[in-house]
């Protein structure tokens, strides 16, 4: 699906330029997986890096000058000023965290946009107020300072279209998806434990509540397929999952946040991937599941069909639509509702 870089283009990577990697706030999930993949390929090319201290255990030592950034306002501002004072005219800066630099830089700046929410005008009311304010501010920064950026790199055509709509056609947007060369496909058959798996963090756009609502509808109809989730165990959504599991007698298992190796094993133990996320810049689990030839039941949205062909799709805003897609996949779809004559309606009213 994704082509290798031609040899003549590989030569360009040897041009003697200083590369600054700026990646604060990249410490979990797909962003960390992509950072690890990039770092494995680019380690010898990076001269200066600023990384999130929360990712320290997951990033190997490199040859570059390294600064750890804490998740505090002062530490983030210090990192931005450090960039401002260190970057020279011929330097290349890669903002891996998806935001434009706070201060203008002398070098050539590329922003790797991974968060579709930043280039969307959709409401943020489902997010906590602190997160909402942060996202509003980041959207404003992106629009206000986009002219400082040489190019934006995204991972899918639909994401590129959305960036151009949000920032304007005059901005350079390049589509260049990448994943790990080896994503750990099992070499031998593994016993299937779960009917469905959903590998996702707990942000509202991941749409867990609609998914669980669909599982409640299925339970009301006597269907209880098993579902594995990977929501961190110490947050309110995890408690909500346990409540719904009890009240609706759901066959749902929340395994908590897993390591990449554990996620690979979970795919191999599952019969299908279900993916109700409302928005994604790529959707790495879709690629990972597809590489394992897992059937994919997913939202009927552009980001899905950018990279995979699902076997069933649904409206992610509808619990009923999700439940029906699951039933179709399981081969137990209900018959269509009969449409009656007015006389039958009258009889129903009068009886």
Spatial separation of the C-alpha atoms in residues 69 and 75, rounded to whole Å? 6
Spatial separation of the C-alpha atoms in residues 145 and 149, rounded to whole Å? 8
Q: Report the chain's terminal Cα–Cα distance, integer Å.
A: 61
**Residue 317: pLDDT over 80:** yes
Task: Express each pLDDT in 221-231 by its tens digit.
Answer: 999 999 999 99
Structure tokens at 332: 């137990």
Structure tokens at 206: 């991941």
pLDDT of amino acid 141:
92
* Sign of torsion over alpha carbons 305, 192, 262, 235: positive
Which of 179 and 210 is assigned the larger pLDDT?
Answer: 210
pLDDT of amino acid 311:
97
**DSSP tag of 221:** T
Spatial separation of the C-alpha atoms in residues 96 and 93, rounded to whole Å? 9
**Residue 47: pLDDT over 50:** yes
Which of 122 and 255 is assigned the larger pLDDT?
Answer: 255
SS3 state at 348? helix
**Residue 302: pLDDT over 70:** yes
Edge-to-edge order in the sheet of strand 312-314: 252-254, 227-229, 196-198, 273-275, 296-299, 312-314
Task: Express each pLDDT in 257-277 by its tens digit.
Answer: 888 789 989 999 999 999 999
Closest CA to 308 of 339, 330, 332, 287: 287
pLDDT of amino acid 8:
44
Domain architecture of the chain: domains with CATH: 13-175 (3.40.50.2000), 196-330 (3.40.50.2000)
Instruction: Give the lowest-confidence range in 70-74, 131-135, 268-272, 342-346.
Output: 342-346
Rounded to 5 degrees, what are φ and ψ at 97?
-85, 0
**Residue 183: pLDDT over 80:** no
Structure tokens at 162: 């959305």
Q: Radius of gyration (Cα) for the chain, nearest Å?
A: 23
What DSSP letter does each residue of 114-157 carry, written as one string? --GGGG-----TTS-HHHHHHHHHHHHHHHHHGGG-SEEEESSH
**Residue 6, number of CB atoms within 10 A of its CB:** 8
SS3 content of the chain, % helix, strand, coil (to 5): 45, 15, 40
- The mean pLDDT value for 282-293 works out to 91
Task: Express each pLDDT in 212-223 by its tens digit.
Answer: 999 999 999 999
For a pLDDT cut of 90, what percent of the chain falls above it?
Answer: 64
Q: Are 218 and 225 in contact (CB under 8 A)?
A: yes
pLDDT of amino acid 342:
72
pLDDT of amino acid 10:
45
Which of 13 and 149 is assigned the larger pLDDT?
Answer: 149
Spatial separation of the C-alpha atoms in residues 229 and 200, rounded to whole Å? 7
Please state, rounded to an integer, the average pLDDT across all residues of the chain: 88
**pLDDT confidence of 187, banded at 50, 70, 90?**
low
């Amino acid at each position: 699906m994704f082509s290798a870089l031609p040899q003549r283009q590989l030569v360009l990577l040897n041009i003697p330029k200083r590369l600054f990697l700026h990646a604060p706030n990249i410490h979990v999930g797909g962003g960390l997986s992509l950072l690890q993949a990039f770092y494995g390929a680019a380690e010898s090319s990076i001269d200066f890096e600023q990384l999130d201290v929360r990712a320290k255990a997951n990033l190997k030592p490199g040859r570059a000058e390294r600064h750890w950034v804490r998740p505090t306002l002062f530490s983030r501002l210090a990192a931005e000023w450090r960039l401002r004072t260190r970057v020279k005219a011929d330097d290349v800066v890669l903002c891996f965290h998806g935001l434009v630099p706070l201060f203008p830089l002398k070098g050539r700046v590329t922003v790797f946009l991974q968060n579709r929410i930043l280039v969307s005008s959709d409401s943020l009311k489902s997010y906590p107020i602190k997160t909402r304010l942060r996202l509003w501010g980041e959207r404003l920064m992106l629009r206000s300072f986009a002219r400082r950026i040489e190019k934006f790199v995204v991972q899918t055509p639909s994401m590129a279209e959305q960036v151009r709509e949000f920032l304007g056609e005059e901005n350079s947007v390049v589509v260049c998806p990448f994943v790990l060369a080896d994503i750990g496909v099992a070499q031998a058959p593994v016993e299937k434990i779960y009917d469905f798996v959903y590998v996702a963090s707990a942000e509202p756009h991941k749409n867990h509540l609609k998914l669980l609502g669909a599982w409640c509808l299925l339970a009301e109809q006597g269907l209880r397929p098993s579902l594995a989730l990977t929501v961190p165990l110490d947050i309110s959504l995890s408690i909500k999952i346990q409540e719904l599991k009890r009240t609706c007698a759901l066959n749902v298992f929340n395994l908590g946040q897993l390591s990449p190796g554990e996620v690979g094993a979970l795919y191999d133990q599952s019969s299908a991937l279900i993916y109700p996320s409302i928005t994604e810049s790529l959707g790495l689990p879709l690629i990972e599941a597809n590489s394992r030839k897992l059937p994919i039941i997913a939202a009927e949205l552009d980001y899905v069909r950018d990279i995979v062909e699902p076997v069933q799709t649904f409206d992610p805003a509808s619990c009923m639509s999700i439940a029906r897609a699951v039933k179709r996949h399981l081969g137990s779809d209900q018959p269509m509702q009969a449409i009656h004559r007015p006389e039958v309606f009258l009889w129903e009213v009068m009886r």
